[in-house]
Structure 1
Amino acid sequence: MGLNLATLFDMQEALDNHIRRKQNIPADMDLVPYLVDALDVEIAELQNEVRYFKFWSADRNMRREAALMEYVDGLHFFLSLGLAFGIPREFEPVPHRYDHIRKQFRSLKRYVYVMEGPMQWYIAFNLFLGLGEFLGFSWPEIVRAYMEKNQVNHKRQEAGD
């Protein structure tokens, strides 16, 4: 697939360090449980924008731009967790896709829910990338949106948000 994660890991590391400095978070504080919870929330927010499960609504069409933004928010937390778990920057992902969007989300959420180390991270991240494909997001589109949101996140830290 040829996804280059090294640049994104570098950008995320810079943002994570910025956040730790601005928020006075001790360098030895384990943020993994908080990052897992944040990722879980972002995936649920993504589900809400995809709307596939809203059988009660006449409008079940995905909100594409909003969904991409939630996806990229999730990517930020995946990268932070990857750094915490020591995932090599040259890691070559293998996106995995199921045959139904519900299966994709449920499986992803299952692995995020139990994430305590690199093995669950690898599986969940490949499912996450498969979800991006499922939703029709191209890798260049994801990277562009990630870079834009990364800048916004730096500015938020400077503004104290």
Structure 2
Amino acid sequence: MNLTRIFGMQEVLDTRIIKAHGLEGKNLFYNMILALQVEIGELANETRCFKHWSNKGPNEKEVILMEYVDGFHFIASLGNGIGFNPNEYSLKLLEHNANVYTASTLVNQFNNVYEGISEFRATQDIELYEELLYSFLGLGKKLGITFEEIEQGYYKKNEVNHQ
């Protein structure tokens, strides 16, 4: 997964959106945090992992992937906003840390991502952002989504977002 390319593309998209909506100079950090939380909730809803009362299974993998990628857009935006440098992270390091930040169950992984969002929101610290990124990548791993699928899904969704 080419984080440098993804984060660069996200910066271009965010700049276009900000300009189109007259948001130059506005602090959108808390909007992005809430948007990420909403996207994580939508993703959880598609997996149905918490719906112990229901017999209906998860949605198709492509739907889950697109919801995951929606969240990844906000992960990238937040990273860009605090000066995260994706050039410093090798694929091997990302894979290792995604494994480290993977919980025993999908429900626990979703909760870990929410906790990571809350901790990052409170401090805007780059180290807590990195932990959030790893936890989010761990969520993808737990969902059976590969880095290649994330990357290709991101490119596809980014193209749609520019329309």
TM-score after normalising by structure 1: 0.89
Counterpart secondary structure, 2:68: helix
Cα offsets for 1:1-44 (capped at 9, x unmatched): xx420000110010011101111111x21111000000000000
Unaligned 5+ residue runs, structure 2? none
Which residue in 2 is equivalent to 1:102? 107
Q: Check conservation: 1:36, 1:115, Cα contact below 8 A.
A: no
Contact 1:39 1:78 survives alignment (8 Å) = yes
Q: How many pairs are equivalent? A: 152
Structure 1 runs (4+) greater than 6 angstroms displaced: none
Give the Cα–Cα distance (whole angstroms) in 1 for the partners of residues 88 and 158 of structure 2.
Answer: 21
% of aligned pairs identical? 36
- Distance in 2 separating the partners of 1:91 and 1:74: 22
Q: 2:105, 2:23 → 1: CA distance? A: 40
- The TM-score, its normalising length taken from structure 2, stands at 0.88
Q: Which runs of 5+ in 1 are unaligned?
A: 156-161
Contact 1:42 1:73 in 2 (8 A): yes
Comparing 82-91 and 43-52, the one that deviates more: 82-91
Aligned to 1:159: none
**Deviation of residue 114 (structure 1)?**
3.2
1:47 aligns with 2:44: yes
2:116 and 2:135 in contact (8 A); partners too? no
Hey, what's the Cα distance between the residues in 1 that align with 2:44 and 2:63?
11
- The residue correspondences of 1:1-161 to structure 2 (distance < 5 A) are 3-26=1-24, 28-92=25-89, 93=94, 94-95=97-98, 96-116=101-121, 117=124, 118-155=126-163
2 CA distance for matches of 1:89 and 1:111?
Answer: 19
Structure with bigger helix share is: 2
Give the RMSD, CA atoms, in angstroms.
1.2
